[in-house]
Amino acid sequence: MVTSSALPDPNNIAMLAVSILAVIIAWDAYWLTKQRSDVPTLGKQENGNFAWQSEGAHEVIRQWGNLASMAAMMALPWGLVQISNTSATYVIIWDILLALHLISLLVPKRYAITKTHLFADGQRYPWSMLIIAKRQPKRRIMLLRKGWGIFGPLPLGGEQNDLSIARQYIENVLSKDVSEGLHFDSNIAESE
């Protein structure tokens, strides 16, 4: 039989959880700020690349599942605070950190397509690691990371006109059937 003295202090567990969440949010914030330097110019580029930016409303559509998850993650710990004898301070810090993460999900994102990479969410994805999903949603482009199965969706947001152009570029890159008019150069923030 396990006694309560054998269990770890709930405040230590809470501090560990809050610390891990803080590291994750700092990591995401880094990538969010990096996107401006990776994709400095929007529109069709002279070198054949294409870049665009979403708006907050596009990010709500793109991130709806994550937003619902964050809301649940903010509410659930309150039901366990009293039962576990955890200090409410940790739950308040947890909620503040998740609120910051929620806001970061809604910040407009910049995307870019080059011959070799897709720039999305401040990161660079080689085309060899991406496939276009067979079923496409109406208001975003859905790519999948190879080898991740259902855990690797990479939705791209933006205005419908930008998404239509981006979809053509993506299909051309992935089919390796790049026409004369859609030549690419990998000069958008790529240093290989």
pLDDT in tens, 75-112: 888 888 888 888 889 999 999 999 998 888 888 888 99
- Give pLDDT tens digits for 1-16: 445 567 788 888 899 9
- Whether the CB-CB separation of 125 and 154 falls below 8 Å is answered with yes
In the prediction, which pLDDT does 5 show?
Answer: 61
**Cβ neighbours of 45 (radius 10 Å):** 17
Residue 19's pLDDT band, with cuts at 50, 70 and 90, is very high
In the prediction, which pLDDT does 133 show?
Answer: 84
Residue 32's pLDDT band, with cuts at 50, 70 and 90, is confident
- Give pLDDT tens digits for 105-164: 888 888 999 988 999 887 888 998 998 888 888 788 888 888 887 777 888 888 899 999
Q: How far is CA 46 from CA 42, 50, 51, 167, 182, in A?
A: 11, 9, 12, 19, 10
What average pLDDT score do residues 42-60 get? 85
| The pTM of the whole model exceeds 0.75 | no
CA angle 166, 24, 107 (to 5 degrees): 40
Of 142, 114, 110, 139, the closest CA to residue 127 belongs to: 114
Residue 36's pLDDT band, with cuts at 50, 70 and 90, is confident
